[in-house]
Amino acid sequence: MSDPLLRVESLTKHYPLGAGILKKAVPMVRAVEDVSFSVKAGETLCIVGESGCGKSTVARLLMRLAEPTNGRVLIDGTDIAGLNKHALRAVRRRMQMVFQDPYSSLNPRLTAGQIITEPVENFERLSRRQREARAADLLQKVGMSPEMMHRLPSELSGGQRQRLGIARALSLNPSLIIADEAVSALDVSVQAQILNLLLDLQQQMGIAFIFISHDLGVVEHVGHRVAVMYLGRIVELAPCEALFANPVHPYTEALIAAAPVPDPARVRLEAPVDGEVPSPINPPNGCAFHPRCPLAVERCRIEVPPLVPMADGRVVACHVRAPADIPALEHIERTADTKNGHEAIDLEKDQDPGSGITKPH
């Protein structure tokens, strides 16, 4: 098997809350906790979850816009944490980002052409003619007319601005584009245009996407694999079709059931889950979903469930639906007698230092 394009190992980010110079114990926001996944070339990995689940923090850590508290991000096998400024610049060429808000992520004083060639000019000098040729080419790739290069962002519609954001990301021929809620602010008819553009680009150029979204309909449409996050952790990671056809984690199930479907004939049961997402400052012990989970048992209140591989290639973190294998279970229980729930987290890492995933038998 060839190396994946991107590998993320036990990525963790804790933000201190407020200044801690005089205070002894600073409360920490546990934004991302022990997240591991990989992305293959040309693949779309979706990350879904509700506000505060850590999906945007993951994106920031991947771009090294924030420094991880723990864990590694490897691109083609190179750990980006150890890179100096110069080497990091080279890596950033390979990974680009498209943001949610096409209004605030474009410099209002630059023309469309300047905006999309600016990244290239970070790396090479372009003559005016070269720059215009590059801009025209990029605009055509995203379905805009080359004459648009002289327009200012304020003269463009929301959809056109998002196309510009995508053209800017494409300008360095990246292998991976991280799209953080890239279609969320758009009307459905414009959203369809942008989703089509992303699918076309992937097919033509073999670009891999990390597609971060809260919209399950969109995720199901574009994803190859989907990671579901809840309160900083991945609770289920599965091939897209399998996830939607047969969600295993109770949270995945609730999320899919909650998404409104434009079909009045669909029979809707009671609201799928009660309660709200707890604060990441003081997350519940054990499985973070247990206070809202209809299946929760005693064990869920004590131990954080490890991600357990299932037969169909997915991993699930749930004591009830995906119990870990017996030896690991005994190991955890033995330790759980003497340690509290929080330290059980470290225990998982002891078992499998690389990924935090418990191996089968």
Beta carbon of residue 260, minimum distance to another protein (angstroms, whole number):
3
Judge contact between 182 and 161, C-beta under 8 A: no
Residue nearer to another protein on the CB measure, 240 or 357: 240
- Distance in Å, CB of 341 to another protein, minimum: 24
Taking alpha carbons only, the member of 133, 187, 199 closest to residue 160 is 187
Query: How far is Cα of residue 179 from the mean position of the Cα atoms in its chain?
Result: 9
Closer residue to another protein in complex, CB, 77/262: 262
Nearer to another protein, 226 or 248 (CB): 226
Instruction: For residue 193, give both structure tokens.
Output: 């245009």
Least distance from another protein to the Cβ atom of residue 127, Å: 34
Q: Give the phi and the psi of residue 289 in degrees, each rounded to 5.
A: -90, -5
Closer CB to another protein, residue 222 or residue 315? 222
Closest CA to 106 of 56, 78, 148, 44: 148
Q: How far is the CB of 273 from another protein (least distance, A)?
A: 5
CB within 8 A of 222, min separation 6: which ones?
44, 46, 195, 198, 199, 209, 211
Rounded least distance, CB 79 to another protein, Å: 32
- Which residues sit at the interface with another protein, rule CB under 8 A? 50-51, 157-159, 187-193, 195-196, 199-200, 214, 216-218, 220-223, 240-241, 244, 254-255, 257-268, 270-277
Instruction: State the nearest-atom distance from the C-beta of 347 to another protein, in Å.
Output: 30
Smallest CA-to-CA distance from 229 within 68, 53, 61 is with 53
What is the pairing mode between strands 315-316 and 308-309? antiparallel
Strand order in the sheet with 70-75: 28-39, 6-16, 70-75, 78-79
In the bound state with another protein, the residue whose beta carbon lies nearer, of 89 and 221, is 221
Minimal distance, residue 50 CB to another protein, in Å: 4
Nearer to another protein, 194 or 344 (CB): 194
Select 140 or 196, whichever has its Cβ closest to another protein: 196
Which tokens is 343 given?
């330290």
